[in-house]
């Protein structure tokens, strides 16, 4: 019997890419490939790239070069680029990076097995010429679902799976294979974005916004719960738009309670929310539904009105603070995080001071700060009033210092609170770590439990916050806290 072909998936970028990698893994395994963790043990190393900002693109290139270095020293015979950077640049990336044996776009995902076999056999698959994916679907959201079947939508996966890919004991899930044993998994709620932020190129290579059907999201969540997942995080470029192309902009409000009732699931988290699209009903559901985390990943980006208008965004400091007051009036313990761009073209010292005013009053649990840089193909790249690089760097350092201080202060405010912690790692030397409802994986802080007796990965435990370490909390498990009890989930 011939030895099975082996493949390793290396994922960079956001949680949306992680979902896409697990769909690719499902497709490959269904076609007979053996998945391995280490690229050195794989016939083909597939690097799922990020194409968002320059730093992420550099990381993607470095990962491809690192995988290429394995060729000739072990089993690895080919290195293939997929993901956003591959989709965004296509032939240009293939010509600039001959070390990659293949550059595959989203349209290649359904035939990923054949593409890799061709490359592994010494054949060549011509890289695509990039196109504006916003033009692949109708302009009207109401007409998009009818055209969705003809457009590649990574992470949306088919419902008609090959036999044996999903557990026979439960509902069929989209074609997907877990790549780690984490008790947390992301679920794609939608793809693409209809917003036209002047600094962002994502819509051009991810396409227009299109929702997944609620039944697909529910089935995938049930399947993940069968695999031992305790928390799901709903991801897309803009979750607040969910349902607008299905005829119900409030669809998320009705879907969340259904997800929370999935057997075995302990927590549902929603990410990527647009402040300008937040609805009172959505806030109510996020702050009052059992097992739905009162967590708000709000894309503020700035708070000075003139800068926001130049970004093609809405709002200002006072309106953003009113939104936060509304959220906290309903759930004082709610977690809030956001990202901000400093040094945007035309940003004045007064604008920066306005952003600092907002940050000082917002009490955010996690803050990401980025210095502006041109992204090709965006409106902002054409603006004339660019700030010198040294000014952008100084402002980035200044606001980053403030953010670090404010996040630590916010963590200290939580001392004395009781938090429900999902245990994610248990180590004899490092101790027991997990996350509370106000902390998303990767982007936010974590909780160090003072005792790990009787705890294991995937357990949910109530604990009292007794200290902090920067943005992280130190918490003491409460005696008698039960991980699986219904009472603990209320």
Distance of CA 376 to the CA centre of its chain: 23
Q: CA-to-CA distance for 364 and 361, rounded, in angstroms?
A: 9
What does DSSP assign to residue 239? G
Beta strands at 418-427 and 460-469: parallel, antiparallel or unpaired: antiparallel
State the binding site: 14, 50, 84, 193, 197, 200
Decide: helix, strand or coil at residue 14: coil
Q: Hey, what are 393's tokens?
A: 């760097």
The residues, ordered by sequence, that sit 6+ positions from 387 with a Cβ below 8 Å of its Cβ are 343, 344, 345, 347, 372, 395
What is the distance between the alpha carbons of residues 229 and 187, in angstroms, rounded to a whole number? 11
> How is residue 279 written in tokens?
């609805």
Question: What gap in Å lies between CA 237 and CA 13, rounded to an integer?
Answer: 13
Residue with tokens 């916004």: 209
Q: Is there a contact between 211 and 199 (Cβ–Cβ < 8 Å)? A: no
Listed in sequence order, the residues at least 6 apart from 322 whose beta carbon sits closer than 8 Å to its beta carbon are none
Q: Which residues are annotated as a binding site for [4Fe-4S] cluster?
A: 14, 50, 84, 193, 197, 200
| In contact, 265 and 291? CB cutoff 8 Å | yes
Q: Could you give the maximum distance between any two Cα atoms of the chain, in Å?
A: 71
Encoded tokens for 305: 């009105």
Place of tokens 């030895």: 3
Q: Which two tokens stand for residue 423?
A: 């245990």
Query: By the 8 A CB rule, do 27 and 174 touch?
Result: no
Cβ–Cβ under 8 Å, residues 231 and 225: no
Tokens of 445: 């802080």
Strand partners, 298: 273
Tokens describing residue 449: 């439990």
């Amino acid at each position: 019997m011939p030895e099975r072909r082996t493949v390793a998936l290396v994922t960079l970028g956001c949680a949306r890419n992680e979902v896409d990698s697990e769909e690719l893994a499902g497709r490959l395994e269904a076609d007979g490939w053996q998945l391995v963790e280490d690229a050195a043990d794989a016939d083909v190393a597939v690097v799922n790239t990020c194409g968002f900002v320059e730093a992420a693109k550099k990381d993607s290139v470095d990962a491809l070069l690192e995988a290429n270095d394995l060729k000739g020293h072990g089993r690895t015979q080919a290195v293939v680029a997929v993901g956003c950077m591959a989709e965004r640049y296509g032939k240009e990336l293939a010509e600039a990076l001959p070390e990659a044996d293949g550059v595959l776009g989203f349209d290649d995902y359904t035939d990923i097995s054949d593409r890799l076999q061709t490359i592994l056999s010494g054949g060549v698959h011509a890289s695509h010429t990039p196109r504006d994916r916003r033009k692949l679907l109708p302009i009207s959201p109401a007409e998009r679902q009818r055209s969705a079947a003809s457009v590649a939508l990574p992470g949306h996966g088919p419902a008609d799976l090959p036999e044996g890919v999903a557990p026979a004991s439960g509902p069929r899930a989209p074609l997907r294979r877990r790549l780690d044993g984490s008790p947390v998994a992301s679920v794609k709620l939608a793809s693409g974005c209809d917003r036209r932020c002047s600094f962002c190129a994502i819509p051009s290579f991810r396409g227009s916004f299109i929702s997944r059907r609620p039944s697909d999201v529910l089935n995938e969540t049930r399947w993940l719960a069968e695999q031992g997942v305790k928390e799901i995080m709903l991801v897309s470029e803009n979750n607040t738009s969910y349902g607008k192309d299905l005829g119900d902009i409030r669809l998320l409000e009705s879907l969340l309670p259904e997800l929370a009732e999935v057997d075995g699931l302990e927590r549902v988290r929603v990410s990527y929310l647009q402040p300008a699209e937040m609805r009172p009903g959505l806030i109510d559901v996020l702050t009052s539904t059992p097992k739905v985390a009162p967590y708000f990943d709000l894309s503020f980006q700035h708070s000075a009105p003139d800068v926001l208008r130049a970004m093609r965004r809405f709002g200002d400091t006072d309106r953003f603070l009113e939104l936060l007051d509304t959220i906290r009036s309903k759930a004082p313990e709610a977690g809030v995080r956001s990202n901000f761009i400093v040094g945007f073209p035309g940003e004045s010292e007064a604008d920066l001071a306005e952003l600092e005013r907002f940050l000082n009053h917002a009490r955010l649990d996690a803050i990401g700060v980025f210095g502006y840089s041109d992204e090709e193909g965006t409106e902002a790249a054409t603006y004339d009033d660019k700030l010198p690089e040294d000014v952008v760097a100084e402002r980035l350092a200044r606001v980053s210092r403030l953010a670090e201080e404010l996040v630590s202060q916010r963590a200290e405010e939580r001392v004395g609170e009781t938090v429900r912690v999902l245990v994610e790692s248990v180590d004899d030397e490092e101790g027991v770590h997990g996350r509370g409802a106000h902390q998303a994986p990767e982007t936010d802080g974590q909780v160090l439990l003072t005792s790990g007796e009787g705890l294991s990965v995937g357990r949910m435990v109530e604990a009292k916050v007794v200290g902090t370490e920067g943005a992280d909390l130190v918490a003491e498990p409460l005696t008698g806290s039960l991980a699986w009890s219904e009472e603990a989930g209320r």
